[in-house]
Amino acid sequence: MRPAGLAQPIFAGLVAGVTGFASSFALLIAGLRNVGATDDQAASGLLVLCVVPGLLTVVLSAVSRIPISIVWSTPAAALLLASDGTDDFRSAVGAFLLCGVLLVITGLWPWLARTVTRIPKPIASAMLAGILFPICLAPVTASVQEPLLALPIVLTWLVLARLAPRLAVPAAVVVTVVVVVISSSGVDLSGARMLPVLAPVVPGLDLAIVLGLGIPVYLVTMAGQNVPGFAVLRTFGYEHAPARAIFVSTGAGNLVAAPFGGISMNLAAMTAAMAAGPDAHPEREKRWVAAVTAGATLAVLGLLSGVATVLVAASPPILITAVAGLALLGALVSAVTAALEEPAHRLVAIVTFLVAVSGLSIAGIGSAFWALLVGGLVMLWFLPWRRKHHPESAAP
C-alpha cells in the first residue's frame, strides 16, 4: 500500500483504539476493585489487558490480512461490577484462569464452540441484559445523589449522542476526569502511582468463587462478545475469519494476563465494526491496517493504566458506575431487543432477565449462572407444549 493509501485506515484505527479504551476502562477498574483488587492490582489488570490484546490484534490481523480486533471483555467487567463482590482477589484470578482454559478448549474442541455459540439467543441476551441493567440505572441514581457531579457528565453524553455518537462516551469520560480533579483534593497526579505497574497475584482455589465467576465470565464473553464479533466480521464480508486461532490465542492471552489481574479477552464487536467497515477503507482487503493500528494504540494506552486507576480511585463509586452505565446503554438496548425478538420465547427471556437482575447468590454462585440454568429449564418446559400446539414455532 502507498503511504497516501494508509492515512484512512490508520486514522480509523487510532479512533477505534482510543474509543475502545475510553469507553470502558472505568468499568474494568471498578469491576476488578469489586472482586477484591487493590489499586495497584487493578492498574496491573488494565495494563495487561491493553498490551496483550493489542499485540494479539496486531499479529492476528497482520498474518491473516483480516481486521481482527481483540479487546478485554466488557460484559465480563460488567459481570464483576454487578456481582456481590468479594475480598478474595486471589480466587477471582483463579476464575480468570479458568476462563482462559475454557477459551483454549473451545478453540481446540469444535463441539464445545458450537454448543456455547448456540445458547438460545433469548436466554443469552436476556442474561446479558440482566447484568447490564443495574449498571445502566447508575446515571439516573447518580444524577439524584450527586447532581453537581453527575449532571454535567450526563448532559455531555446526551448532547453528543445526538450530534456525534462516537464521541459521546469518550467526551463523558473527559468531563468525568475534569469533575473529579476539580472536586477532589485527594487526586495525587505525581509520583510512582502514575507509572504503569505489574502486580502478580498467586491464584486462589475457593471453588465457589472460581466456578461462580469463571464459568459466567466465560459464557458472557462468548455470548456477549465473541458471537457478535464474528457476526460483525461476516457482515462486512469476512466469512473466513480463523475462529480456532482467535479462541486459542485469546485463551492463551487470558492465561498470560490473569496472574496480573487480567480478565477475559475476546473478539471485539464495536471496535471491530470501526476497523472492518467501509469507514476504515473503501477496499475490504486494506482494512486490516486499521485493526493493526487499533491494536498498537491500545497497547500504548496501557501506559496510562496508573493514571486511570488513580482517577477512578479518587472518584465517588456511583460516578464511575454512572459513566460505565452511559457506555453500556447501547449494549443494553441490543441485548433487550435480541432477547424479545422472538414472540414465542419472550416469557423465557423475561424469566431469565429477572433471575439475572435479582442479584441472587446460591452456594456462592452468582445470578448470571442461575439465569442461564433457569432460562434453559423454562424453555425446555414450554418446548413440548409449543411443538404440540404450534408446530411451526418448534422449527429450528
What pLDDT was estimated at residue 359? Answer: 77
73: number of Cβ within 10 Å: 30
Instruction: Give which of 342, 351, 334, 396 is closest to 125, Cα–Cα.
Output: 334
pLDDT tens across the length of the chain (396 residues): 555 467 888 888 888 888 788 878 888 999 999 999 998 999 999 999 999 999 999 999 999 999 999 999 988 998 898 888 789 999 999 999 999 999 999 999 888 877 766 778 888 888 878 888 988 898 999 999 989 889 999 999 999 989 988 788 888 888 988 888 787 665 565 554 667 889 999 999 888 889 989 998 998 888 778 877 887 788 788 888 888 899 999 999 999 999 999 999 999 877 777 788 888 888 888 899 999 999 999 999 998 888 888 888 778 888 888 888 888 788 788 889 888 988 888 999 999 999 988 877 776 666 777 888 899 899 988 876 555 555 444 443
What pLDDT was estimated at residue 193? Answer: 62
What pLDDT was estimated at residue 395? Answer: 40
Angle at 41 between CA 40 and CA 42, to 5 degrees: 90
Q: Where are the alpha helices (DSSP H) in the chain?
A: 3-34, 39-64, 74-82, 89-108, 110-117, 121-136, 138-145, 147-163, 165-183, 207-221, 227-235, 243-257, 270-276, 288-301, 305-314, 317-339, 346-358, 367-389
Domain region containing 367 = 3-394
* Chain centroid offset of residue 284 CA: 26
Question: What does the alpha-carbon distance between residue 60 and residue 332 come to, in Å, rounded to a whole number?
Answer: 29
How many domains does the chain fold into?
A: 1
What pLDDT was estimated at residue 332? Answer: 86
For residue 348, the one-letter residue type is V
φ/ψ of residue 126, rounded to 5: -65, -40
Burial group, residue 265, by CB count within 10 angstroms (0-12, 13-18, 19+): buried
Q: What is the DSSP string of 325-359?
A: HHHHHHHHHHHHHHHTSSGGGHHHHHHHHHHHHHT
What pLDDT was estimated at residue 18? Answer: 83
φ/ψ of residue 362, rounded to 5: -120, 125
What are 355's three cell numbers? 433471575
Question: What does the alpha-carbon distance between residue 273 and residue 16 come to, in Å, rounded to a whole number?
Answer: 9
* Chain centroid offset of residue 92 CA: 17
What pLDDT was estimated at residue 56? Answer: 97
pTM of the entire structure? 0.78
If you count them, how many residues does the chain have?
396
